[in-house]
Each structure stands twice: as C-alpha cells, then as structure tokens.
Chains A and B, each alone.
With several copies, the nearest count.
Chain A
Amino acid sequence: MAEMITVTLVCFSQVRHHIGSHLLPIELPLGSTAGDAEADLRSRLPEHVRALPMRVAVNQEFAERSAVLQAGDEVVFMPPMQGG
C-alpha cells in the first residue's frame, strides 16, 4: 500500500462556499502532484464551480499542476480573481 501524505487545501470564494470551510486537509499518495490534489478537490465541487478555470499555488507561490507535493504543503486552487 502506498505511503500517504496529508496536504491542506486552502479554499477561497466559490470553492470555500461549496466546501464549507477555509481549510480542507486531504490525504494523497506520496509522489502526488498539485494536479492530483485538484482532481480530489474538483470531485467535491458542483459542476459550475468545477468548470471554473483555476490557478494553482503551493505554499504561497504560484505553481504548475505538475508540482510534486510534500507532506504539510499548503495547496490552493484559485477561481478567477476579483480584486479591485
């Protein structure tokens, strides 16, 4: 059985609204990427939120979906930004 790690998804805007909380710890097999975490997250979201383009950040920096996650990472999938 694969070794598992825990990362924390930080949720904003519509993602937060549907997940129901700001922080969502998830378990993933060691070696998982941000893209794998995103698949987990999207499976928990309704269709119209799943369809949003999202940018990825890991540990407070923009990242690619191919980034390999480490235990304890803070991972964010960001719906379209709305500042200003």
Chain B
Amino acid sequence: MTAATDPRVDTRITEDPLPPLEPDDSRVKLGAELLFHGRVRDEEEGRPIVALEYERYEGLAEKELERVALDTVERFPIDQLVCWHRIGRVGVGEASLRVVVWSCHRVEGLEAMAWFISSLKHRVPIWKWAVTADGERFPSTCGHDENGPEGDHGTHAH
C-alpha cells in the first residue's frame, strides 16, 4: 500500500479482496460518480482458467500507480480518483481493479476513466499469471504494446 500525498487521489495495491462498496451520499458538489471494476474472465489466451495471479514490482508499482492517478486529476477536471488494484490470486469473476472517479459532470468523468485505465495498463509494473484447473501456472504472454491507448488491443481481463 502507498499513502496518497494528494487528497484528490487514493491509490492502493493490496492482496486482499476489494471490500464491498459503501453507499456514500456525502459529495454534494459532485453530480457524477463513475466506478469501474475490472474482473477476471474465465479464459486467458483461449485456455480456460480458474484464477489470475497478479504480481507487481513492489516499490515502483505503488509509486507509478499514484503518479498515473495524479496525472489524471491534473489532466481532467475531476475532483477525486480512487484506485485499488488487487494482486496475488484473484478468482474468476472477482474484481482485480476498482477505479472510482467523482466529477461535477459525467463527460469529464468518462474521459478521465478511459485515460486513467489505459495509462495504468501501460505504465504500472504489474503482470499476471494464469492458473488452470489442474494447477498449472503460466505467465500471460500478451501485454500491452508501448504505443499508448490506441495500441491497446484490450484482449484481456478488460
């Protein structure tokens, strides 16, 4: 975990399942709340799997995730961004990623969400291993290319 240094962002990398969402009606200035859950799909590279195992480069992953969040709140007129990335074993159907963006209006929230997730996928040193029903564990061979969002073929978990 990393403690956010800017009150607009809260980024965490955690081995625990993401906690249930708590209802929160306190943001009376912010009309738009947008939440994204990235969930583990039941296949990887065409093979059925039972889980993904995420590993991170500890130290840099936390720093870079926070920098991506800060870049996002600088670049888009949004008020707050929360990102929790789960690592370790994440079962099929479970959420590996939660991002919440609060803004006055929905358009900037949607744009910020798209940019943040795409940047996270290209910048934050996290990788995944697929786990099959018979216990085999293989590294995903398919990452995102280095060309930025437009090169993101997005054939994976989300």
Contact = CB atoms under 8 A, between A and B. Distances in A.
B127 A84 contact: no
Interface stretch (A8-16, A25-33, A37-45): A8-16
A82 B140 contact: yes
Contacts of A72: none
A83 interface: yes
A84 to B, nearest CB: 5
Nearest to B121: A84
A81 B122 contact: yes
Contact of A78 (B57, B117, B158): B57
Contacts of B139: 13-14, 16-17
Majority secondary structure of chain A interface residues (helix, strand, loop or mixed): mixed
Contacts, number: 84
Interface size range of chain B in the complex: 35 or more
A13 B121 contact: no
Interface string B128-143: 1100000000111111
B8 interface: no
Interface residues of A, number: 22
A57 B60 contact: yes
B38 interface: yes
B89 interface: no
B127 A12 contact: yes
B75 to A, nearest CB: 19
Contacts of A69: none
B143 A82 contact: yes
A76 interface: yes
Given A17-B139, A53-B146, A84 B59 contact: no
Given A13-B140, A14-B139, A14-B141, A81 B126 contact: yes
Contacts of A76: 57, 60, 125
**Top-10 shortest CB links A-B:** A80-B143, A83-B126, A60-B59, A13-B127, A84-B121, A83-B124, A60-B60, A13-B139, A17-B139, A82-B127
